[in-house]
Structure 1
Amino acid sequence: MMSNHGTDVTALESHVDVLIIGAGPAGSFLALALGRAGVHVRIVDKKEAKITSGHADGIQPRMIEVFQSYGLAERLLKEAAQLRVNAYYVSKPEGGIMRTILEPTVKGSRYPFEVTLAQSRIEDILRDAMEECGVYVEQPKVPISLSLSEDESELQSRSSEPYPVKIVLQRPSASTRVENGHNVHTNGAANTSTVLGSASGAAQDIVRAKYVVGADGAHSWVRSAVGIDMVGESTKFVWGVVDFVPESDFPDLRISCAIHTEHGNCMIIPREKDLIRVYVHLGDVEVGEDGRINRLQFGPDEILKVAQKCFYPYKLLAPQGFDWWTVYIVGQRVASSFSVKNRIFIVGDACHTHSPKAGQGMNASMNDAHNLAWKLAYVMRHWAPSTLLDTYEFERRKFAQDLIDFDKMFATLYSVTPKPGDKNHERFVEACNTYSAFVLGHGVQYEASTITDITHASIASGLVIGQRIPPGIIVQVANFRPYELHDLLPSDTRFKILILPGDASKPKQKAKLDAVAAEIDHPEGFLKRFTPAGAPDDTMFDIITISHTPCVAANTLVIPPRLQSHWSKSFMDAQTMCEGIGGNLYASYGVSDAGAIIVCRPDGYIGMVAALDDLAEIGKYFANFLHSTPVTA
């Protein structure tokens, strides 16, 4: 498989575990996750410098949870604006607009809000964290050719030797820059007949990689190079976007607003540092046969004029000018495949594109990376066979298709100008409420597979196997300190084994818990069977015990020493004596007094549940996708 040919310029050659093409949110997030996992990773980007304004800006509650699992939420929340309330506006019969609904943005979440922060600042957070692991973005560097070995034995080998993917990178010469896959001379004239890499004197870098990931956006060079198609279509809906510091008498300028009027539709998103973002439906705009629009007919002033009609009788001005603006056509597409031979992958906008109305773009992209990272790490560590990588496309392509199906409906409801007597606004509000869990990220569910076993779901009837594990307050037995469960589940590539023994102060449950502790050390038990030979017991599995014992009966001696690798690993589902919080985990998870074991995957999703006395089922689960350690006599 080969893309554009390079030149004969003398090039350096290097080897890397994973080469990431594209340093936007998806690529940077993947580079961070792999760097922390100890993977030798490089990340390159064709842009001369990182973006400074505009582009994506919304982070959903589930993504805040993921940031928290990487230790990045504190900085994100410090810098971002918080969206806690949604307002809906419609036209008044006598003219102007009126608010019809005011409701919480998020319900039932650890983080009861969405946040907005410029993509450039999100990338700063990720890049700073990457640099702590010794990973730096190399830019500008442009891929000019890609080839994948056709030797099946090399493709299947997971030894330290094979590097079956070859990429040629080029640093553009000072007289050129790169835009949309073409060399563009600094006088602005696009040399569309020139193949990438033809600029003379540009240095080349030949990289041989075990894996390549294309995180290079909607016009992905990697996707094109490996022949993956985008399946879907564009609509006739054209929207404009402007970021600015407003001067306005509109009362709800600092909350999320959807405005449906007879003059058109628009949306307000408050931003950091006094900025707001306004989305405006531009109505009947002529779209060419090539699916493009003449952007010269629009500018930020024209977009604002349309918005001002929707805002009447309120004023909306931009006296300080515009921070960023763009015009786009709503379209929904999903890549026909997310990988090639489990050696080349695409993530983010490279594999799914949609409208930005529901704030999914950056979230979906980074969650692609979050899903892929631990799986790549396991395969490269020889902990799992390459078939584990099949689950990346299986899980994330289904999510992408669900997202596209939702976006088609949502974008249509948002873009149709309401007429007197129609129910479009009501249908729009209903859709927002119906799909809120999916939009916020809590309702994303991975279907049954080798890593998602729904066989014993009834043991924890309040949980949905394949969804992220819900948050909850639990109390440390040794010191009665409350903890948010999510804070005990960092993204460190380990499976979290949550043992819920019921009330361990009762003899029956105590006996079961003692049996679990004894079986943990059995040579054929999951811990010994799958932990790499010679590695500490907590290398792959982090065991946490959460009993259903009231504080007055708390006793660290009730928990077998084998289940307390450290005193801090023992918790109880009880209400705290000082704050009066907690005590609801068993009930919300639907776990009875008989107890349960919950397996939480490295990405925070529930892999399976089993009965307290059924460690054999845990072993069968891991045997589906992990390599066993040979049992020695």
Structure 2
Amino acid sequence: MDTTNSHTNSAEYDVVIVGGGPVGLLLAYQLKRFGVLACVLEQYQKEEQDQYGRAIALFPRTLEQLHQLDLIEPMLQLGFACRTSVTYKDGKRILPGRVWNFMENIKDTTYDFVLVLRQIFTEKILREKLTKVGVEYYQGIECVDFILNESTSLDGYPVASKFVEKVTGKGFELKSKYLIGADGGRSFVRRHAGIPFEGDRSDDRWIRIDGLIETNMPLARSYGAIESKTHGNVLWAPLDHAATRIGFAYTEEIAAKYPGGVTQEVAEKEALESMKPFDVRFKEIHWWTLYTIGQKMAKDFATRDRIILCGDAAHTHSSGAAQGLNTGIHDAVNLGWKLALQIRGITKPEILKTYNDERKLAVNQLIEYDKDISVLMTHKWPKWYEGDPNADPYIILGEIFEKARSFNTGLGISYPINAVNQTTAAVLNVVPGSRPPDVELTMPGTGRKLSLQDVTPNLAKFWVVVFAGNPVSTKESLLSLRDFLEERDQSFLTREYISWITISAINGYSPYETLGTKPFGDTFFDTTSSAHEKFGFGLERGGILILRPDGLVAHGGPINGQIVEDYFTKLFRN
């Protein structure tokens, strides 16, 4: 087999991942990081696929997730950090802008921008990471069958998958505890598992074309929406390596001009037309595509407890909101820690099942949103619209994008109360299942500034954050918590899959002296008390916040060890 790494060539794995795109690669990287044996099998040789194109935009919440997985730095070195947008109609700029202006003035995150990086580079970075950490990754290998023996014990390998080397025709079998379908919209895993792929496919078609471009359009390195009468809401996207993408609707009227079909020359010509009255010239074309718009979602993202879908294998939609890769990454991050803790025998089975419930809810929201914007971007009305037929669809499009600002950035995506997200034991400013504020903290001694996300990386561990408030006022509660933990020294509260940190609202020379007791994990100072304030913890009483491994709020309450113990008792096996 052609592989980037042949460490073990074992026939048994904890997880076999079918599909070597960014979602499958990211999941494999996480599982290795979390102590789980996984391999990736991709049916295509990557050098034979398109060099460029495909997904380009990584939004703030996605960047935060990659940061907490120690993946962000090489992407920042290659990508284009976009903080500005423009909207043009008839060559004149519209202020305030429409559609992409949600990229501007993003608050409460280090990543207050959209990172534009073509998928080829994202995948390359992830493959290099897999090689570095020692994950087996095979190309030119096609999955042709799998069976599930449901009588196999919980710790056994119930999934037997058959693969064929596409060059030699040689077949082989791999056994695993779980089989992951990350093999795209035409997923073999989904089809063979018999999971319905429900939704619609329209007759609307779009063209995307990338290359090195010269133009007289002002602010050409901003994300742009060109409101065309003939080519829909035209996408202008600055890319990495000084390239640019133009995207437009390939309408019936345009198609009628080309009975011989679409070629690169046609795509280039219509791209230039779509940008009028601005002058545009391609110095070099890297990639182009014509595709049909549709929205589909798997009826279930997991079946029979052992077969799991993520990324395009679980859902497809238009590129109108540029959410495809972001949504797939959210799938992988949501699944990674849950799958690892299940395989390691730490969490109860219902925790892994929340992957299906949480991600289906979020994806369904995206699909309903995408149905509207994909129609409006073609300068047509959605079926539900009953307003003025002479109104401008682009204005409604802009309003929909603005209302979905927090969803588009990913910062507002949240999940309901479930086995992981449990109702807080006190009234707080944060909600279980949501992203917490990324507050600024100060390192003892050096005074170096850090964020909460810096000190709570995704290691498939839960984080218990003790907000100590003013330790003079909270000393009794802190001492009581210390006594509680020492009485339970061998319990799961001190095990490797739970980490603690302390945040004190009072600065000091020594964490121990400031707190008046042994710190709970590493200590950081909240020198302005803003972190306590944002979370809703008063300085007189403080509180405890439990974060999921993926950084979302899980639970919270007063400084009380019993609250922590009760929460984890519901999650963990005995």
TM-score, normalization: structure 1? 0.83
Sequence identity, in percent?
A: 26
Distance apart, 1:352 and its partner CA: 0.7
Q: What aligned pairs does 1:297-446 form with structure 2 within 5 A after superposition?
A: 297-320=261-284, 322-416=285-379, 422-446=391-415
My pick for the range that moved more, 599-608 or 277-286, is 277-286
SS of the aligned residue for 1:252 comes to: coil
Matched, 1:57 2:51: no
2:512 and 2:519 in contact (8 A); partners too: no
1:339 and 1:552 map into 2 onto residues whose CA distance is 50
Q: What residue number does 1:584 align with?
A: 530
Residue 519 of structure 2 is matched in structure 1 by 563
Q: CA deviation at 1:299?
A: 2.4
1:319 maps to a residue whose letter is K
Alignment partner for residue 623 of structure 1, among 553, 556, 569?
569
2:83 counterpart letter in structure 1: R
Distance 1:233 1:480, change over 3 A: same
Post-superposition Cα deviations, 1:388-429, rounded to whole Å, max 9, x if no partner, equal 211110111111111111111222222216999623222222
The answer to whether structure 1 residue 529 and structure 2 residue 501 are counterparts is no
The amino acid of 2:418's aligned partner reads S
2:154 paired with 1:158: yes
Q: 1:74 aligns to what? A: 73
- Counterpart selection for 2:175 from 202, 208, 212: 208
Aligned residue pairs total 549
Q: Measured at CA, do residues 237 and 252 of structure 1 come closer, stay the same or move farther in structure 2, by a change above 3 Å?
A: farther
Q: Work out which of the residue numbers 32, 37, 48 in structure 2 matches 1:35.
A: 32
Corresponding residue for residue 282 of structure 1? 250
Give the secondary-structure state (helix, strand or coil) at the position aligned to 1:488: coil
SS at match of 2:94: strand
Partners of 1:323 and 1:209 in 2: how far apart? 40
Q: Are 2:423 and 1:454 equivalent residues in the alignment?
A: yes
Structure 2: stretches of 5+ with no match in the other structure: 1-8, 382-387
Equivalent AA in structure 2 for residue 573 of structure 1 = D
Q: Higher mean Cα deviation, 110-119 or 215-224?
A: 110-119
* Alignment CA distance shift 1:285-1:326 (3 Å): farther
> Structure 1 residues 16, 387: closer, same or farther in 2, change over 3 A?
same
Structure 2 distance, partners of 1:570, 1:479, is 13
Per the TM alignment, residue 172 of structure 1 is displaced from its structure 2 partner at its CA by: 1.3
- 1:573 counterpart (504, 526, 529): 526
Deviates more, 1:162-171 or 1:471-480: 471-480
Q: Which whole-Å CA distance do the structure 1 matches of 2:102 and 2:185 have between them? A: 33
Once the two structures are TM-superposed, the CA of residue 318 in structure 1 deviates from its matched residue by 1.1
2:499 — aligned with what? 542
Match of 2:552 among 605, 608, 612: 605
Shift of 1:379: 1.2
Contact 2:86 2:224 in 1 (8 A): yes
Report deviation, 1:218.
0.3
Please say if residues 60 and 359 of structure 1, whose CA atoms lie closer than 8 Å, have aligned partners that are also in contact: no
Please name the residue that 2:194 is paired with: 227
**Runs of 5+ in structure 1 lacking a partner?**
1-11, 175-201, 288-293, 532-536, 576-582, 629-633
Any runs of at least 4 consecutive aligned residues in structure 1 with deviations exceeding 4 A, and if so which?
A: 417-421, 552-555
Compared with structure 1, are the counterparts of its residues 332 and 295 closer, same or farther at alpha carbon in structure 2 (3 Å cutoff)?
Answer: farther
> Could you say what secondary structure the match of 2:431 adopts?
coil
For residues 121 and 560 of structure 1, what CA distance do their matches in structure 2 show? Answer: 50
Amino acid at match of 1:522: E
Q: How does 1:495-510 map to 2 (within 5 A)?
A: 495-504=462-471, 506=472, 508-510=473-475
SS at 2:454 equivalent: helix
Question: 1:148, 1:34 → 2: CA distance?
Answer: 22
Partner of 1:291: none
Aligned partners of 2:220, 2:175: CA distance in 1, in Å? 51
Helix, strand or coil for the counterpart of 1:334? strand
Shift of 1:286: 10
Taking the aligned partners of 1:126 and 1:218, their CA distance within structure 2 comes to 21
Quote how far apart the aligned CAs of 1:528 are: 4.0
For normalisation by structure 2, the TM-score amounts to: 0.91
Deviation at 1:301, TM superposition (A): 2.7
Could you say what the CA RMSD is over the residues aligned between the two structures, in angstroms? 2.3
- Is contact 1:510–1:558 with CA below 8 Å preserved after alignment? no
Q: Deviations over 1:205-264 (max 9, x none)?
A: 111111100100000000001000111101232110000111211113211011112223
Q: Deviations over 1:132-152 (max 9, x none)?
A: 22113201101111111142x
One-letter code aligned to 1:599:
I
Larger radius of gyration: 1
**What SS class does the counterpart of residue 189 from structure 2 fall into?**
helix
Structure 1 Cα separation of the partners of residues 537 and 265 of structure 2: 58
Deviation at 1:552, TM superposition (A): 6.5
CA distance 1:395–1:457, shift in 2 (3 Å): farther
Supply the AA of the counterpart residue of 2:154.
R
